[in-house]
Structure 1
Amino acid sequence: MRLAFILSELGSGLRRNLTMVISVILVTFVSLTFVGAAGVLQLQIGQLKGFWYDKVQVTVFLCNDTPTNTNCAGGPVTADQKKNIEGILASPAVKPYVESWTFETQAEALAHFKEQFANSPMVDSVEAGNLPSSFRIKLTDPQKYQIINESLSATPGVDSVVDQRKVLDSLFYLMNIATLVAMIVAGLMIICAALLVSTTIKLSAKSREREINIMRLVGASKTVIQLPFALEGIIASTIGALLASGAVWGIVRFFLGDYLAKGSSGTPVISQTQALVIYPVLILLGILLAGVSSVVSLRKNLKT
């Protein structure tokens, strides 16, 4: 009987406040879409950082089958040239500035390339011979990059010396700023959504004040009285959260997966599988948003 009564009151409330319910859905949809977009952006930053930003400060690319400077005029790096480079890294003039280093073979470079660019259409057309082997060097002081550059850039067998952090810092800075802006906008929109849910619940409760008083007189509990109103907000917010999840899926699928990955072969992008973690978070946020707003608004309007 109680369940039938709650469902009846819920349906009545949704019909009476249809315009406000639609408003709640739309505001929740927009606010949580910003939250989801910020989450996607952070996942994308993590994808870019994932392999080399947190691990590498300087990369010494060695000559391969496709030389790009005069150091590589003799062809791919030889074993003797590689040993000479290792000797320079261990020399008294350079060693104090090197915390650690690792050597990445062409096969390892290909494996990392396939991992980072899994969504790129060019991944299957790249072979190990197309990628250079390299020394990945972590410096004791990142500001001392020029010492490594001057010591190795003209060494036979070295194609180029790249300060990878310097290349990526500006990109990550801009992306973090974009994430911050998206989160600020999302926060403001969530506040608007919470206020709108609260207003919708108050109006609904006000319009049925006589019915509420009768239910109190016949001994209905607070939970039975409040639940239909709370469910109105939760249903509207959940629909908005589902729409926001769909919008985020579209961003990952069509913008990142199709447009960005295919239009820029040098940009590793997150996959749809990686983005799955965002969707339940958005739905949970939608439910919490409505639940908290409902409890706060009903505490005053329906107190005994």
Structure 2
Amino acid sequence: MRAGLVLAEAANGLRRNASMVVSVVLVTFISLTFVGTAALMQLQIGQMKGYWYDRAQVAVYLCTDVSTAAGCTDGEATKEQKAAVEAQLASDTLKPYIDEFTFEDHEQAYANFQEQFEGTPAADYVTPEVLNETFWVNLVDPSESDVIAEALAGLAGVEQVVDQRRYLDQIFDVLNAASFTAIAIAAIMLVAAALLIATTIRLSAFSRRRELGIMRLVGASNRFIQTPFVLEGVFAGLIGSLLAGAAVVAIVQFFVQGYLAQTLSFTFVDLGEAWLVVPLLILVGVLLAAVSAGIAIRRYLRV
């Protein structure tokens, strides 16, 4: 099989069906951009989980005069009750699980509240006495927060024990839902791209049906006949995937690193992760095009 002749046939097919090829390139580009974005979102979520979970604390909220919890019927936690909680945190039982813990009294809680809600109506109405005094606990392993909760939840003067990770889980659930939505949209668009590639190849074959008939008469092999059409699809898929890769790199370079990283004090995905995604996009685009085109031309030639 002469490579030059096969490539020439593929080039002719691309010229004859330029508008359809452009459509395939655009659909492949958009769908693979969604795939790349979803992959980067998963990498970002993984980074965020590692960052925030390591910093998540367990908050041991003590009773106030306005607490309605079952363990707060006697009103605000007494000095003895606070000392008992502190002793439990420093005990040999919990010491292996705790990295460090700090105590926040009413005044410290009020100062933090005022700083957080400055300029809002809540800052004018809240008084120090209604805010919980709190033991903030940093764990050696944040996943073992249940040990702290079980040890302290039943102590007198403790209103509740809260693992901050449960709030993070809600945020990550939303982010994962957004990522999975992008993947679902990308999957639908990849199916559309596959169907469009198949249609383009069938139209290309139909426009050259007389040439294909002559090739069959002179004994050309199916592989020789099919290869130019497969190359047409692969070319369109390759261009679309390269554009998608460029878009993903541009998003990270100019939006994530150029804007978000400069605005927010946080670690975001960088160009290293973006370049890791690019080969995946190229592989998906080329394989999708090759398989779709191969199936389409084989079915056409059987008719």
Pairs within 5 Å for 1:280-299? 280-299=279-298
Alignment partners' CA distance in 1, 2:12 and 2:149: 71
CA RMSD of aligned residues (A): 3.4
Tell me which amino acid in the other structure corresponds to 1:277.
L
Distance apart, 1:277 and its partner CA: 1.6
TM-score, normalised to structure 1, is 0.70
Which residue in 2 is equivalent to 1:36?
A: 36
Which residue in 1 is equivalent to 2:197?
A: 197
Which residue in 2 is equivalent to 1:100?
A: 97
Alignment partners' CA distance in 1, 2:33 and 2:206: 31
User: Any stretches of 5+ residues in structure 1 without a counterpart?
Assistant: 61-83, 105-132, 154-160
Which residue in 2 is equivalent to 1:15?
A: 15
Which residue in 1 is equivalent to 2:48?
A: 48
Distance apart, 1:206 and its partner CA: 0.7
Alignment partners' CA distance in 2, 1:142 and 1:164: 14
Query: Bigger CA drift: 281-290 or 269-278?
Result: 269-278
Deviation digits for residues 119-154 of structure 1, max 9, x if unmatched? xxxxxxxxxxxxxx9554543527928938x99x9x
Distance apart, 1:229 and its partner CA: 0.4
Alignment partners' CA distance in 2, 1:146 and 1:175: 33
Question: SS of the counterpart of 2:97?
Answer: strand
Q: Is the 8 A contact 2:237 2:285 kept in 1?
A: yes
Distance apart, 1:220 and its partner CA: 1.1
Alignment partners' CA distance in 1, 2:147 and 2:203: 61
Change in 2 beyond 3 A, CA 1:9/1:142: farther
Distance apart, 1:44 and its partner CA: 0.4
Question: SS of the counterpart of 1:219?
Answer: coil
Question: SS of the counterpart of 2:267?
Answer: coil
Distance apart, 1:89 and its partner CA: 3.1
Query: Bigger CA drift: 192-201 or 218-227?
Result: 218-227
1:144 to 137, 144, 149: 149
Distance apart, 1:26 and its partner CA: 0.3
2:243 maps to 1:243: yes
Alignment partners' CA distance in 2, 1:143 and 1:13: 69
Q: Is the 8 A contact 2:139 2:145 kept in 1?
A: no
Q: Is the 8 A contact 1:145 1:163 kept in 2?
A: no
Alignment partners' CA distance in 2, 1:162 and 1:258: 37
Which residue in 2 is equivalent to 1:234?
A: 234
Distance apart, 1:256 and its partner CA: 1.0
Which residue in 1 is equivalent to 2:263?
A: 263
Aligned length, in residue pairs = 243
Tell me which amino acid in the other structure corresponds to 1:16.
R
Alignment partners' CA distance in 2, 1:288 and 1:229: 14
Distance apart, 1:250 and its partner CA: 1.2
Pairs within 5 Å for 1:85-164? 88-91=88-91, 95=94, 100-102=97-99, 135-136=139-140, 137-139=142-144, 141=146, 144=149, 147=152, 163-164=163-164
Alignment partners' CA distance in 2, 1:296 and 1:87: 72
Alignment partners' CA distance in 1, 2:143 and 2:178: 29
Distance apart, 1:8 and its partner CA: 1.5
Alignment partners' CA distance in 1, 2:37 and 2:164: 27
Distance apart, 1:247 and its partner CA: 0.7
Select the structure of larger CA radius of gyration. Answer: 2
Alignment partners' CA distance in 1, 2:218 and 2:44: 57
Alignment partners' CA distance in 2, 1:252 and 1:269: 9
Change in 2 beyond 3 A, CA 1:205/1:260: same
Identity of matched residues, %: 46
Q: Is the 8 A contact 1:100 1:138 kept in 2?
A: no
Distance apart, 1:300 and its partner CA: 1.4
2:183 maps to 1:183: yes
Deviation digits for residues 219-247 of structure 1, max 9, x if unmatched? 11111100000100100111000000011
User: Any stretches of 5+ residues in structure 2 without a counterpart?
Assistant: 60-83, 102-136
Q: Is the 8 A contact 1:13 1:232 kept in 2?
A: yes
Distance apart, 1:291 and its partner CA: 0.8
Q: Is the 8 A contact 1:241 1:282 kept in 2?
A: yes
Change in 2 beyond 3 A, CA 1:291/1:270: same
TM-score, normalised to structure 2, is 0.70
Distance apart, 1:59 and its partner CA: 5.6
Alignment partners' CA distance in 1, 2:150 and 2:202: 63
Question: SS of the counterpart of 2:302?
Answer: coil
